[in-house]
Each structure stands twice: as C-alpha cells, then as structure tokens.
Amino acid sequence: MKQKDSLDCQSRRLEHSFRLTRVGVTGVKKPVTVHRDGRDRHLTATIDVFVDLPSTQRGSHMSRNVEVVTEMIEESVRKKVSSLEELAAKICKKLLDRHEYASFAEVNMSADYFLERKPVGGKASLEPFKLMAKATAMRGNGLMKLVGVEVQGMTACPCAMETVKHKLQLKHPELRHVPADTPMISHNQRNRTTLIIEVPEQVEIEADDLVGIVESSLSSPTYGILKRDDEANIVMKAHENPKFVEDVVREILGRLLVKYKGLDNSVHVTVRSESEESIHKHNAFAERVTTLGELRS
Amino acid sequence: MKQKDSLDCQSRRLEHSFRLTRVGVTGVKKPVTVHRDGRDRHLTATIDVFVDLPSTQRGSHMSRNVEVVTEMIEESVRKKVSSLEELAAKICKKLLDRHEYASFAEVNMSADYFLERKPVGGKASLEPFKLMAKATAMRGNGLMKLVGVEVQGMTACPCAMETVKHKLQLKHPELRHVPADTPMISHNQRNRTTLIIEVPEQVEIEADDLVGIVESSLSSPTYGILKRDDEANIVMKAHENPKFVEDVVREILGRLLVKYKGLDNSVHVTVRSESEESIHKHNAFAERVTTLGELRS
Amino acid sequence: MKQKDSLDCQSRRLEHSFRLTRVGVTGVKKPVTVHRDGRDRHLTATIDVFVDLPSTQRGSHMSRNVEVVTEMIEESVRKKVSSLEELAAKICKKLLDRHEYASFAEVNMSADYFLERKPVGGKASLEPFKLMAKATAMRGNGLMKLVGVEVQGMTACPCAMETVKHKLQLKHPELRHVPADTPMISHNQRNRTTLIIEVPEQVEIEADDLVGIVESSLSSPTYGILKRDDEANIVMKAHENPKFVEDVVREILGRLLVKYKGLDNSVHVTVRSESEESIHKHNAFAERVTTLGELRS
Amino acid sequence: MKQKDSLDCQSRRLEHSFRLTRVGVTGVKKPVTVHRDGRDRHLTATIDVFVDLPSTQRGSHMSRNVEVVTEMIEESVRKKVSSLEELAAKICKKLLDRHEYASFAEVNMSADYFLERKPVGGKASLEPFKLMAKATAMRGNGLMKLVGVEVQGMTACPCAMETVKHKLQLKHPELRHVPADTPMISHNQRNRTTLIIEVPEQVEIEADDLVGIVESSLSSPTYGILKRDDEANIVMKAHENPKFVEDVVREILGRLLVKYKGLDNSVHVTVRSESEESIHKHNAFAERVTTLGELRS
C-alpha cells in the first residue's frame, strides 16, 4: 500500500509552518436519541467537531470526524446515552484517539427539544426549547462538558411601567388610589435567554431544570395555546414581574447558586438574555460569563 | 471563431425537452445610487434576475444577467434613476434584448434604507426600513413594476387588553371609574409589515409614502432613541391604538384607497403583517393579495 | 356567559371592511411522528396554518389554529399517519370545522429527515434531507395535498469543462488522445434542489422516491463520509455527468413523467434548482412551475 | 426634578447582586460614511455596543448607547473618519464617558462593501466583501481596535485531485505523459474566509489589503462576470492552486508576517476559513487565533 500512502496529502510534513487552533467540520446534521427518565427523546442535532493541528502536518483527516460522529451515535443506540453532553464527551474522546497528532478536541451540538407546559388553568402543550451541549478535551488532561438551553419567553419593561404610571396618575387622579402593586401598561416582548453550565465529572445536570430556572426568571414563560382567560393571566403575570434583561440574567445567577450548591467553585457559567424590544428595531442584551466561585464571592 | 461557437454549450439545441419558467442568478449584491428629491441615496442592493428558456435551448447565458445588471447600474450613475423600481425595469427590458430567446424577464431588488423619524418631543434619528422593487416583462407586451417596503413597528393586542381590563376591574373596583378609553395593559410586540404596490406607467409612487402608510396603521411606530418620557408616550400611544395583525392589514388597505384614488382598478396590491407575539413562541400573520379594483368594489 | 361574549373582540362585526386572503400563525414548532413502512420517523416540524377571513369579521381566532395543530398531532399518535401531507390535510379540514366563518384553509409543514445512503464501495451513513408538505382546502370543495423534498447535492459545470478541455489540449497536445468522454476539470459546487408534487386523493407518493429522483438528476449525490477512494469516485462521477441547473430541472421533469405515468394531467409540479456557484459569489437558478399535463403535451 | 429621579429605575441601587460582563444593544442599523483615499464609502452598518455593569446598579441606560452611536456617526459626517474601526473606537470612548459607572466598553460593527476586481483579460466589476470592526476599552487603560474582512472565494481540494489523477492514469495510460503540474479534476467550492487583525495606536491598516491577502491565499478569487474564456481561466487557476482550508489559513498567516513586519508582537490575529464542500452537506473549517509574536517564534 505504498501507493496509497503517497496519496495521503493530509499527512505530508511541513516545515516552517503554523499550528492551527481548530480544524474540523461544521453543520453536520444527525438524528440522535437520548434516553432519560425511562423514555427516548428523538433529536435532530446539528454538530461541529474540531481538533487542533500541529505545525508539521499539512491537513487534518476530515472524514475521520464524521466517522467518529457516526460511530458514536450508532453506539449510543445500543448503549443508550442519557444526555447530549455525554454524547459530545464520547465523541470528543474518540476524536483524540483517531487524530493521533491532535492534542485538543472540541464538540458542539444543538437541537430543538420539547417540554410539556401548562399555563395555570389552561391547556397543556409541548413547548419548543433549544438544547446545547459542548465538550472539550486536552490529551491526557480529562474532559470538560457543558450543557445549555435557549428559552424563549416574555419580558415587560419596569422603567416604562413606572413612567407610564406617573403620567397616567397625573391625568387620571383616581388611578392614584389603586394599590401600588397594580400592574401598569409597559412595553413587553419576546426574549431569548441562554444558560450554559459546566457539568463536572460524576455529576448530572438536567437540561429541564435549566429551562425551569430561565422560565422562572423571565417576566413570564410563553405558551403555544392560550385561550382568552389564560392570555389575560399571562399578560398580568408578566406585568406583575417586570424585568430588564439585566434582571433576568441576575435572577438566573441567583437561582443557579441555590440550585447547584454542591457544585465546585471552578464550574463555568454563561448567561445571556436578549429582548427583541417592541419599542425599538434593535435588541437589548445582557450577559455574564463567570464561574460559580466568582458568583459566590 | 467556429471553435468558439462549438464551445457554446448553452445554445446547443435540444429535442423533446421542457420549457423552463425562470432561469437566472440570485443573490447578486451591488451598490446602487438612487437620485430623488435632489439628493442621492446610497443603497446596498441584493438582486435576483430571471428569464424564461424555450424547450429547444439547453442553457441560459448566465453571465449576460450579471453583465446587464452591472451595465444598467453603471448607466444609472451617468443618467440618474429616481427609484429602485425604475432601475429594475431598465434591467428587465435589457434582459429581453440580451437573451434573444427569452419571452419573459423578471427582476427583484431589495435594500436597507433609512428615513429620519422623531417621536413627539423626542430626538430625531435615522430609522431603518427595507425597500423592495420588482419588474417583469413579456416580450412585446410592456412592463410591470412594483415597489414595496418592509416596516418594523409595534402592535398591542386589543383582545388581551379588554380581558385584562375586565379582570382588573373585578379585583380593583376603583378601576371602573377611569374613563373607558384609558389604555390598559396588554401584550405588545415587534411587528413586521410589508406593503407592495404596482406602479403603473407614467406614475411615481414614493416609497416614503408607503412607509408612512404602514407606520400610521400600526399601534405605534418604533424609534432608535427614546428617553424615559418618549418611551412612556410611545407605550401609551400603542395601547391607545391596540391592533390585531388583521386590523393593520385592513387599515393599510383603507389608506391606500384614499391615497391612490387616481390609480387604475387593475393595480396589484399585497399587504402582509406579522407580529412576533410576546406571549407565544410563534407569530401571528395576516395577508391580503388583491387589486385596487377589488378593494373598491 | 354574556360577559364572556362581550370580550370576544375577534367576532366583532365590521362594516365596509375588507376580506383577508390568509390569517393565521407561522413558525409553530412541534414534534411529529410519521408511521411508514412499519417504522416510526420522528420529525421536528415547523408549521404555518392559515384561514381566510370575511370582511365582516374583525379577527380570526388565532388560538384555535394551535389547538387544531396540537389535537391533530395528538390524534396522529393514536391513529398513526403515514405522511406529513396526510397530517397537513387533516389539520386543514379541521381548521375549516373550527373556523366556521372561513371558506379556505392552508397548512405548510417542513422538517429535516434522514435516509441511509452509501457511496459505491463506501460506508453507509444517514444523509439529511428536507421534507415539505402542504394542504389547502376550499369549503365544500375537497382538498389539495402536496409533498416535496429539498435535496443537497453536487453539480459540475458542462460549459467550463469544454472550454478547459479545449484550452488544455492546445497547451498539452497529448491530451487530444484521451477518449472524448474522459472527464475534464470544471467548477463544481453545492446545489440545493426542491421538488414538490401534488398528491391526488387515493394516491400515495413516497418522499423517498422524490429524493431518489433528485439525486439521480444531479451531477452526483453527496455523502457525509467519504474515504479517499470514495471521494475520488464521487468527483469523477460528477465530472462524467456535468449539469447546468437547467439540466437538473429538466431531468427531474423527465423522470417524473416516467415514474408517475398513472397520475392525472391536472397534477401540479414545481421543480427548483439552485447552484451555489464556486466561481461566483451569487447562485445560478432554474425553475419550472407546471402540471403533468403541460409536461406531457 | 426629584420626581424624575425616582423614575430612574436603572440607577436604583442593589445589594448582594452580581456584576454583569456586557450589557447593551444589538442589531442597530445605521448608514455610515467612511472617507478614505479621497473618496467616500457609503456603508449600511450593523452595530452592537456594550458596557459592563457593577453589581450595585440595577440597569444600564440603554438609550444612551444609541444616542452615542448616533452622535458619533453624525460627528463623522462633519469630521470625516477614515475607517470603521476608527468610528468604533470613538463610540467606545464616548460610551465610557456617558456610562459613568462602567469600566469596560465594546463596539462591534459590520457592513457589506465593494472593491473593483477584474479577472485577467476579463471585465471589471464591483465584488462584495464584508467589512468588520471592533473596539474595546477599559477605563483609563487605552483602547484596542480590530479590523477584519470576510471574503468569498474558491478552494479546490488537493487530496481528491491526487487520488483522481492516480485513478485516471491507471485507466488512461496516455495521461501519465502530461506534465506533473497539469491540473486534474477535483472537487471545488465556495469558501468564506475571515481575517481579523488588531490595529495598534498610530497605525493604519487597509481593509483592502486584508482582502488582497485572503484572495491571494485561496485557490482563486471569484468574480461576478466571467465570459467563457475567463471562466476557464479561473477554473484552471483554482486547480493549479489546490488548497485545503488548513492551507488557506496558513498562507494568510505567512503573508501577514511579511506584510506587517513592523507591527508589534502583541498584535492579535484571527484567521478562519470555511469551505462549503461540494461533495458533502457539511463544511470544512480551519482557524488560528493568535498574536504576531506567537507566529514569529
């Protein structure tokens, strides 16, 4: 097979060249099944995988990336995986096995997924969320796994609400007598919030819990089916809980500290909230990139 | 040049083949300057152009499409064009000249553009809108031109507002005494509305007027800069003008009849409004595809 | 419940208003299971549903749309549906039941789906395709169903190939002696082709067959995993079958006539092919919108 | 103005809360004019701006962000700016002036822009590129500016080319006699490459030079208008310069070292190349994130 080897362009040796930080494939789509709490979740995942490349080697063997993804997904049908991040971690380790020249590997996965939600007094329906998973590995150095969710919900602006109340009370003095906590009109809008947390070895973090943490930190969750009464309840609830994007991020940070008391200080956390402002054509944005240790100090 | 001709794959004759409805290029980006009201508007246009193809010819000469686009844009620098749809029409005619085998040509163009807007008592800023133009031509049969705009604005829901008012009045009887037209909380959200109208020969339609028609048919326009007071005014204005997407489309249709009294019954009109609902993860949508004649009857 | 009725904003009667062509919801995401050939396919569907609205009624009852979608998907778990278009048709009929004022209903669905593919001599993997379904109904007038697929594949340009061959033979006379059908270098690129066909009553059309028709009309299908040898085979195959987008559309039309001999002349067909040209920053595009009858004549 | 102050929700003091990394607005669209080499370039810029927020303050004053953007763009009309990154830097500094509580500011801008390009022997046309600029500032600590470009071009695969040559020579022995450097068929495709470099104080970096560096590191640039002969030349050129995404990134790194010999070791560089593979449905990707110093060592 000498001939074959001479066709291995990728392994050709380079001199005076440059190391590459990440080389791989992006936008691979695959059906994935995650087995959790006794039932299968069928996901359509979009996957990016990378390894680094030493300065002496011309190319990474790209087809090995998709082979590894395919093999590990097939294995996950036989030996069920309980989470997308577990699958990402398995792919990550296997990438280092297969790319013997690499010292680093990274896997990113995302998929739509659904949870049943029911507004108080209303009808249950399946709401869509986005599930994200990431794994990175340094050769010989263990593994880092992260799980994340993107949640759509509703924010009502606290600032506009107070200014409007002040203006309306000047105009309609009878409004001064309603209780101070009566919700007042404001602008409200669709919000997208992302929460990503590192998953230490031996720990399981439920993506569903992350969705719950985000939903309870918004002015209100949103729902597919709302009859007239449910709609009014959601609108009132949102205006009783007006939130800046800043408030949303901080509430999530606070809830994380309570929920994950047992997790190590070194655990990475990213929270990002974006409100598609109804009064502007641009969005409002807030973000914190941190560790549990920093948050606790 | 016999050799050259034999390389003209596109002109090769086919038997027993099929006519094609549209063949061309999509996603061509070009800088375009429109001269109107004494000043230049610099646009970054995205352009699609098509002709039909008879069953006997293998291929359309694709490079001619981009040549025509480029030539007509260059000519528009010397002999100024006053609108994107005028430029689209010129390209359309030239496509039929250049593709001698075609009997139909179509050009679609779109670009971001900006108009100065100032909330009452607030600061002026340039607001972004989307400008659209279309032209189609049948050989020997004149030309059809259309101009359109996409406008982002705000809608507040009339239905939630009434249900909330009813519920709040049950809870806080003092609220029954405020005037019936006092705005009440509701859900409100970013809305995108598109208005497209045919431009008959010898007629000019101002895109800026179309933007104005859409903005005045929403619950409120939206603005880049809103200080605290302006924000409250916009929020109150939107809640004093609650609108379903259905209302938005119908108000625009009504305003079109008033504004364009002089235009022919045959003039095509499309109005489409989509609210990115703050209480749902999906959008609400309404559309009318019609002619001025149908609307007048 | 008199009070309740007075809150029904949507049913409020209008005078001198306008009919609306389509009113509904867009971007609803739901998990859907289609049962076919003895196995379940789990899809993440994106769904738009519309009805028309008479001029006398203020609003469509938007929440009924999502209720109908949810109910029909739930029913499809108990009474299995064999295709996305069957589900779209069921939703369409139920929309007319639930919106008693409507005379027209429309449902559009799309989802990623996967089929196993294996390059000759290579490794099988699941390839992603896009499945599309549409149903429309006029009250009392039966139903129209359509099924479609979007397929990514590869096109190699026949024109560049011939010009290059001519130029290379001038430069390297020994190249004149290779057989005329030896593939020559050309530009090749990712192509996206859409095939949509009406599904008459009592007829089943396999989406998988549509994918097959498109794949065999491209220069070559594409694959997730290609080892060195497979890659060379695919590249040679593509260059032995160079195709303009025009050729792709016409080959599909030809194959449709052969495959669906039994279908009625009235059956609607749309074929659209777009090549993301490697030598340009824009795309090449060809389309035919027609009926089987027109194609047969 | 006591009343006014009590409405300043954003300035309300918090206890036991969290610092936020970035708070601001995203997706602001504005027309911007850059004056360079004696002529005006009219850009439609998309802008994100952020500051950090101390743990003691509830909200950032979002409207100040858009005010600052608007003011600095207006000022740039009077006192011409010579680059997008200069404008980004001015906005960044002003953000720290206006948000007195912030210690960090960040501005990201991007816009389509056009350069004239002419294939050898062919027609000149304006080709679209993407211009990017970023500025960050720490209070009291100077400023970091970056300029970047995204360039679309063409890559032809070196690996497939060699395997195909080997296979074709087995089949057609006469092909063994063509010179070794005769280009052979391969897969080729649209590639998008991004090059971002830090711009030190007192230094000007021409975005046009960055585009040139990327274009000359691809298998070939691409063009809007290519007549038959030009097309063949480009296809041959690309196949005479086959490139992996890894090669593209490394060539750019090499050219940067030659071009910017005078720049400091601390200068940040990011190069990212993505090929939209014609033989796969996914992309190939390579990236280096580094400094000039690391590259020089």
- pLDDT digit string (tens) for A135-147? 999 998 889 999 9
pLDDT at A1: 32
Residue among A25, A39, A44 with most chain C CBs within 10 A, to mutate? A44
| Eight-class DSSP state of D53 | E
Residue among A125, A130, A229, A231 with most chain C CBs within 10 A, to mutate? A125
- The CA distances from residue A266 to A141, A144, A149, A200, A256, in Å, are 16, 11, 20, 9, 14
The overall average pLDDT reported for chain D is 94
Q: Are A268 and A205 in contact (CB under 8 A)?
A: no
Q: How far apart are CA B12 and CA A287, in angstroms?
A: 60
Q: Is the alpha carbon torsion for D108, D112, D115, D120 positive or negative?
A: positive
Sort out which chain B residues have CB atoms less than 8 A from D125's CB and list them: 66, 70
**Pairing outcome for strands B143-156 and B188-198:** antiparallel
- D76-110 pLDDT, tens digit per residue, is 988 889 999 999 999 999 999 999 999 999 999 99
Q: Are B154 and B232 in contact (CB under 8 A)?
A: no
Element (H, E) at D64: helix D62-78
Of D172, D175, D281, the CB nearest to C128: D281
Kindly report the nearest CA distance between residue A123 and chain C, in angstroms: 9
Contact yes or no for B114 and D42 at CB 8 A: no
- C241-283 pLDDT, tens digit per residue, is 999 999 999 999 999 999 999 999 999 999 999 999 999 999 9
Q: What are chain B's partners, defined as 3 or more CB pairs within 8 angstroms? A: A, C, D
Sort out which chain A residues have CB atoms less than 8 A from D247's CB and list them: 58-59
pLDDT at B5: 63
Q: How far apart are CA A58 and CA D251, in angstroms?
A: 12
Contact yes or no for A244 and D58 at CB 8 A: yes
Asked if residue C49 has pLDDT above 80, the reply is: yes
Question: Rounded mean pLDDT of C221-241?
Answer: 96
Which ranges constitute the DSSP H helices of chain C? 2-6, 62-78, 84-98, 158-171, 207-215, 228-240, 245-259, 292-296
Q: Are B169 and B176 in contact (CB under 8 A)?
A: yes
pLDDT at A5: 62
Reported pTM: 0.96
Kindly report the nearest CA distance between residue C239 and chain D, in angstroms: 8
Residue among B115, B187, B189 with most chain A CBs within 10 A, to mutate? B187
Kindly report the nearest CA distance between residue B173 and chain C, in angstroms: 17
Q: How confident is the model at residue C113 (pLDDT cuts 50, 70, 90)?
A: very high
The overall average pLDDT reported for chain B is 94
- The CA distances from residue B72 to B79, B93, D88, D107, D118, in Å, are 10, 10, 35, 37, 18
Sort out which chain C residues have CB atoms less than 8 A from D168's CB and list them: 182, 236
Contact yes or no for A62 and D253 at CB 8 A: no
Tokens of B220: 């409120």
pLDDT at B3: 42
Q: How far apart are CA C210 and CA C202, in angstroms?
A: 18
CA angle A269, A272, A278 (to 5 degrees): 165
Nearest residue on chain D to C221, alpha-carbon basis: D279
Question: Rounded mean pLDDT of A170-190?
Answer: 87
Burial of C244 per CB tally in 10 Å (0-12, 13-18, 19+): buried
ipTM of the complex: 0.94
Sort out which chain B residues have CB atoms less than 8 A from A234's CB and list them: 187, 279
Q: Which residue has the higher pLDDT, C125 or A282?
A: A282
Kindly report the nearest CA distance between residue A132 and chain B, in angstroms: 19
C71-110 burial: b if 16+ Cβ within 10 Å, else e: bbbeebeeeebebbbbbbbbbbbbbbebbeebbbbbbbbb
Residue among D11, D18, D281, D290 with most chain A CBs within 10 A, to mutate? D18
Q: How confident is the model at residue A3 (pLDDT cuts 50, 70, 90)?
A: very low
pLDDT at D2: 39
Sort out which chain C residues have CB atoms less than 8 A from B66's CB and list them: 280, 282
Q: Are B195 and B250 in contact (CB under 8 A)?
A: no
- B28-49 pLDDT, tens digit per residue, is 999 999 998 889 999 999 999 9
- A58-97 pLDDT, tens digit per residue, is 999 999 999 999 999 999 988 899 999 999 999 999 999 9
pLDDT at C175: 79
Q: How confident is the model at residue D16 (pLDDT cuts 50, 70, 90)?
A: confident
- B128-182 pLDDT, tens digit per residue, is 999 999 999 999 888 999 999 999 999 999 999 999 999 988 888 877 877 877 8
- A198-221 pLDDT, tens digit per residue, is 999 999 999 999 999 999 999 999
Contact yes or no for C250 and B29 at CB 8 A: no
Sort out which chain C residues have CB atoms less than 8 A from B283's CB and list them: 25-27
Nearest residue on chain D to B126, alpha-carbon basis: D30
Q: Are D76 and D40 in contact (CB under 8 A)?
A: no
Task: Say what the alpha-carbon torsion angle C110, A29, C283, B268 is, to the nearest 10 degrees.
Answer: 20
Tokens of B135: 């032209």
Of B4, B44, B227, the CB nearest to D63: B227
Contact yes or no for D244 and A29 at CB 8 A: no
Sort out which chain A residues have CB atoms less than 8 A from B236's CB and list them: 164, 167-168, 185
Asked if residue C97 has pLDDT above 70, the reply is: yes
Nearest to D214 by CA among D260, D160, D271: D271
Q: What are chain C's partners, defined as 3 or more CB pairs within 8 angstroms? A: A, B, D
Of C70, C112, C231, the CB nearest to A125: C70
Q: How confident is the model at residue A172 (pLDDT cuts 50, 70, 90)?
A: confident
Please report where in the chains the tokens 């593509």 appear, as a residue.
Answer: C238
Q: How far apart are CA A100 and CA B152, in angstroms?
A: 53
Contact yes or no for C236 and D164 at CB 8 A: yes
Asked if residue C140 has pLDDT above 70, the reply is: yes
Of C127, C128, C235, the CB nearest to D187: C235
Share of chain A above pLDDT 70, in %: 98
**Pairing outcome for strands D125-138 and B104-117:** unpaired
Which ranges constitute the DSSP H helices of D172-244? 207-217, 228-240
D33 Cα distance to chain centroid = 18
Tokens of B154: 């705000």
Share of chain D above pLDDT 90, in %: 84
SS3 of residue C223 by DSSP: coil
Nearest residue on chain D to C183, alpha-carbon basis: D185
Chain B residues within 8 A (CB-CB) of chain D? 4, 7-8, 28-31, 42-44, 63, 66-67, 70, 111-112, 114, 123, 125-126, 128, 224-228, 231
Kindly report the nearest CA distance between residue B35 and chain D, in angstroms: 15
Sort out which chain C residues have CB atoms less than 8 A from B59's CB and list them: 159, 244, 246-247
A203-220 burial: b if 16+ Cβ within 10 Å, else e: eebebebbbbbbbebbbb
Q: How confident is the model at residue B74 (pLDDT cuts 50, 70, 90)?
A: very high
- A117-160 pLDDT, tens digit per residue, is 999 989 898 999 999 999 999 998 889 999 999 999 999 999 99
Q: Are D217 and D255 in contact (CB under 8 A)?
A: yes
Of D29, D43, D226, the CB nearest to B63: D226
- Residues sharing a CB contact under 8 Å with residue A67, sequence separation 6 or more, in sequence order: A98, C123, C225
Chain D residues within 8 A (CB-CB) of chain B? 4, 7-8, 28-31, 42-44, 63, 66-67, 70, 111-112, 114, 123, 125-126, 128, 224-228, 231
Nearest residue on chain B to D74, alpha-carbon basis: B125
Contact yes or no for C22 and B287 at CB 8 A: yes
SS3 of residue B133 by DSSP: strand
> What backbone phi and psi angles, to 5 degrees, belong to A127?
-100, 140
Tokens of A293: 């240790």
- B201-247 pLDDT, tens digit per residue, is 999 999 999 999 999 999 999 999 999 999 999 999 999 999 999 99
Sort out which chain A residues have CB atoms less than 8 A from C112's CB and list them: 29, 44
Share of chain D above pLDDT 70, in %: 98
Contact yes or no for A288 and D20 at CB 8 A: yes
Sort out which chain A residues have CB atoms less than 8 A from D21's CB and list them: 287-290
Q: How far apart are CA A46 and CA A154, in angstroms?
A: 27
Of B21, B282, B290, the CB nearest to C289: B21
Question: Considering just the CA atoms, what is the radius of gyration of chain B in Å?
Answer: 24
Residue among B150, B222, B237, B278 with most chain A CBs within 10 A, to mutate? B278
Q: How far apart are CA C264 and CA C258, in angstroms?
A: 13
Sort out which chain B residues have CB atoms less than 8 A from C23's CB and list them: 245-246, 285-287
Kindly report the nearest CA distance between residue B277 and chain A, in angstroms: 7
- D229-246 pLDDT, tens digit per residue, is 999 999 999 999 999 999
Contact yes or no for A163 and B229 at CB 8 A: yes
Contact yes or no for D235 and C185 at CB 8 A: yes
Sort out which chain D residues have CB atoms less than 8 A from C190's CB and list them: 189-190, 276-278, 281
pLDDT at A4: 47
- C167-201 pLDDT, tens digit per residue, is 988 988 877 877 877 889 999 999 999 999 999 99
Contact yes or no for D18 and A58 at CB 8 A: no
